[in-house]
Amino acid sequence: MTAATLITVAPTGAEVEKAAVPALPVTLDELVATAKECESVGASVVHVHIRDDEARPTLDLGRLRDTVAALRESTDLIVQLSSGGAVTDPEANRLAVLDAAPEMASCTMGTVNFGDDVFMNRWEFIVDLHTRMQERTVVPEYEIFDLGQLTTLERLLNSHGLPHGRHVHVDLVMGVPGGMPGTPAALVACAAALRDLPEGTTFSATGIGRSTLPVMLASLAAGGHLRVGMEDTVTYAKGQPVESNAQLVARAAAFARLAQRPPLTPGEARALLGVPSRA
Ligand code: KMH
Ligand code: ZN
């Protein structure tokens, strides 16, 4: 059983609308303020999507570079840029995210229906993203939306080698309409399939919407880590909107402590994930 818990915060995402959820951080100042609060209550990784001046999702490279710089200056969090972007983002723009030189980036292991949309991740694109991350020494987090995507990850590692840092970390994104359900049974099935991946592979899990709590508790019980944030959950409890990302991180940290697996510091998280220390 893993001793301590990696808590990733995904504060913004590409889907939630600022007009519908005013507490969503969309400006750089809001994002940095959120990141600092989340670090202070137990987060060690920030999974970043950015927005433009109209709060629409963007992969603008200048903004991404400014975002990486600002988060590095104001926090010790591991900065993980989303290469998934929004379902409308072209592959070239998603690959170009690496030009902003994050410490980590997400790398999704297959195409999945995504509500009424399709989140496209062709095999050739996956290989391209994975190999570019190896070349640029960006540590991937492999995003898994369905059980079979773990087999795709196994195929990728067998054919194209381990990621930079040589540690494999996956994030189970559960409960997306079109992907696997956000249930303890599905998480246990993934945990069993993870045994076919390299020794030492770690996983975190997040449940979209109302699956957030069952997925969090199941992940802690199964030795997994946690991702929370307003990218995935905007309702704290029935009829109660999320007030802030820090509220979600604080709840995750409290559950982790109750499970006697307290939150990792960012430095400890770097050691776990194979991300070079800042010093
Ligand atoms: N916004 C989704 C289409 C990622 O960040 O890598 C993709 C996503 C996954 O959120
Ligand atoms: Zn994301």
Q: Residue 108: beta bridge partners? A: 143
pLDDT score of 279: 74
Domain segments of the chain: what residues? 7-273
Residues 224-247 have a mean pLDDT of: 98
* Ligand 1 atom at minimum distance from 10 CA: 5
Question: Helix, strand, or coil here: 91?
Answer: helix
Confidence of residue 64 (pLDDT cuts 50, 70, 90): very high
pLDDT score of 134: 98
Residues framing ligand 1 (Cβ under 6 A)? 13-15, 82-84, 86-87, 106, 108, 114, 119, 143
* Ligand 1 atom at minimum distance from 83 CA: 6
Rounded CA-CA distance 57/63 in Å is 11
pLDDT score of 217: 98
* Ligand 1 atom at minimum distance from 173 CA: 9
Which of 212, 163, 209, 168 is closest to 187 using CA atoms? 212
Ligand 2 is an ion; its neighbours by CB within 5 Å are 82
> Residues near 164 by Cβ (< 8 Å), separated by ≥ 6?
133, 134, 136, 137, 138, 139, 140, 274
Residues 215-236 have a mean pLDDT of: 98
Question: Diameter of the chain by CA atoms?
Answer: 48
pLDDT > 80? residue 241:
yes
pLDDT > 80? residue 2:
no
Pull the structure tokens for residue 153: 């990850």
Residue 214 backbone dihedrals phi, psi, to 5 degrees: -60, -40
Question: Helix, strand, or coil here: 89?
Answer: coil
User: The pTM is what?
Assistant: 0.98
pLDDT score of 135: 98
Residue having the nearest C-alpha atom to atom 7 of ligand 1: 84
Closest ligand (CA of 176): 1
Closest ligand (CA of 178): 1
pLDDT > 60? residue 232:
yes
* Ligand 1 centre distance from Cα of residue 48 (Å): 10
Choosing from 48, 108, 111 the residue with most ligand 1 atoms within 8 A of its CB, the one to mutate for a pocket test is 108
* Ligand 2 centre distance from Cα of residue 10 (Å): 7
CATH number attached to the domain at 7-273: 3.20.20.70
Residue having the nearest C-alpha atom to atom 6 of ligand 1: 84
pLDDT > 70? residue 258:
yes
Rounded CA-CA distance 128/133 in Å is 9
Q: What is the pLDDT of residues 121-179, one digit of tens each?
A: 999 999 999 999 999 999 999 999 999 999 999 999 999 999 999 999 999 999 999 99
Closest ligand (CA of 16): 1
User: How confident is the prediction for the chain on average, in pLDDT?
Assistant: 98
Strands (E), the chain: 7-9, 45-48, 50-51, 57-58, 78-81, 104-108, 112-114, 117-119, 139-144, 169-174, 202-207, 225-228, 235-237, 240-241
pLDDT score of 278: 87
Choosing from 121, 143, 153 the residue with most ligand 1 atoms within 8 A of its CB, the one to mutate for a pocket test is 143
> Residues near 238 by Cβ (< 8 Å), separated by ≥ 6?
none
Which position has the higher pLDDT, 156 or 2? 156
